[in-house]
Structure 1
């Protein structure tokens, strides 16, 4: 089975990839996909990603939780943003969340237009995701959400972790996959220390949410893989 694994370092480059026969893994480590993975693992019935803050309002008065984040902060008037600590079992169990974020939901909406399938990846579900991808018969594109269409370190490190885990199972890796894996191998002994170099880490530090960053860098806390079905992210069924 000849399969390729590619890394798209920013959504601005997505148009360069043929993804109709690919599983696209959307990656926004700090913090959208980490929170989505954690929320689905904690029993959220669904998480509906929308592109714009105003789109959340269409779901008002339907019993849904409305979550909106821009530039790392909760948008005023919404239930919460994209901190993983807002996606605990007590808060989201059995509920549907409507979510919009600066980078992650944008990348997801771009991927869904042409991808064979769209799933969410985070360090929190790294091994579960890799175990599942290993036995699929599709190419894989690791789509880094980046920061406002620019490259970022944290998403690339996660892409590299996936490549390192799966490289023996795929016949072709592009140069961005090789670079992402090399970065991950340099950083994996202390991801947080390495990410002190990142611009987004500095942005989040100004918001006093270091606890969120530390949480998002944990390995294999979750077993769930959120998958896009229709307009909603739900738990992938075995």
Structure 2
């Protein structure tokens, strides 16, 4: 087999609105929503959540209240918990005490939307700084095209998701991957910010939104690197721990 035949694609989709430009079914998709959905999902699965069911709309989340018992319902819009739900997407709501052995139904402004738009992928996994290295080790072993899907903010580009995509590219670039321009740009951003993620991402628009809500601690927590090893993977309708 020639090197050309062995080359895999490592691409970055900078916004869910750009997904129609990709043949998503040819990739493993990594969903990225650093502030805060994918960080909370990784933390919850690490802490023993049986499953997290991502749904696109608040109404879908409400429907689970009627058809299932014992589920925790989590809904976030514009950075705040939707009234009437158990919690939103703060990582501090996904501790062992709260989610261990539980199934959570989750809808968020950006992350769950990006996931649903990526459903045609060969496989969907969830990434965050919390599980960065374990995720990258697994991706290296798959011998598949990889699409890093940045959830962004309401279909716009955002810095934190792109920076994380760059961190993944940085760990995978020694492999036999063909990168696209967004992947190269994301890696360049990561090189600028990797020595102090908190300082670099303090200027992001979403961190400013969260600060106004008084939840700076969430931002700091989401920038912890490699404090978990669990990789959430979509199995049917549920995100579970990859075995």
Helix, strand or coil: the match of 2:7?
coil
Corresponding residue for residue 71 of structure 1: 78
Offset, 1:197: 1.6
Residue 57 of structure 1 deviates from its aligned partner by 1.4
Q: Given the alignment of the two structures, is residue 12 of structure 1 paired with residue 12 of structure 2, yes or no? A: no
Provide the C-alpha distance between the structure 2 equivalents of 1:48 and 1:2, rounded to a whole number of angstroms: 34
| In the alignment, structure 1 residue 58 sits paired with structure 2 residue 58 | no
Q: Deviations over 1:116-135 (max 9, x none)?
A: 01000000000000000001
1:42 Cα shift?
Answer: 0.3
C-alpha deviation, 1:21, in angstroms? 2.2
How many angstroms apart in 2 are the aligned matches of 1:121 and 1:171?
19
TM-score, normalization by structure 1: 0.98
The alpha carbon displacement at 1:44 in A equals 0.2
Residue number in structure 1 paired with 2:210: 204
TM-score, normalised to structure 2, is 0.96
Aligned residues: 236
Q: 1:80 aligns with which of 87, 90, 101?
A: 87
1:1-47 Cα offsets, whole Å, 9 max, x none, are 32110000000000101121210000000000000000000000000
How many Å separate the matches in 2 of 1:40 and 1:162?
20
Residue segments in structure 1 that go unaligned for 5+ positions in a row: none
Deviation at 1:171, TM superposition (A): 2.7
Question: Is contact 1:83–1:212 with CA below 8 Å preserved after alignment?
Answer: yes
Whole-Å separation in 2 of the counterparts to 1:192 and 1:219: 11
Show CA shifts across 1:81-140 (max 9, x none): 00000000000000000000000000000001x210100000000000000000102100
Aligned CA RMSD, in angstroms, stands at: 0.7
Aligned partners of 2:177, 2:242: CA distance in 1, in Å? 26
The unaligned stretches of length 5 or more in structure 2 are 1-5
Instruction: Report if the CA contact (8 A) 1:5-1:170 is conserved.
Output: no
Paired with 1:170 and 1:32, the residues of 2 have a C-alpha distance of 30
Which of 143, 156, 162 is the equivalent residue of 1:156?
162
Q: 1:221 aligns with which of 201, 211, 227?
A: 227
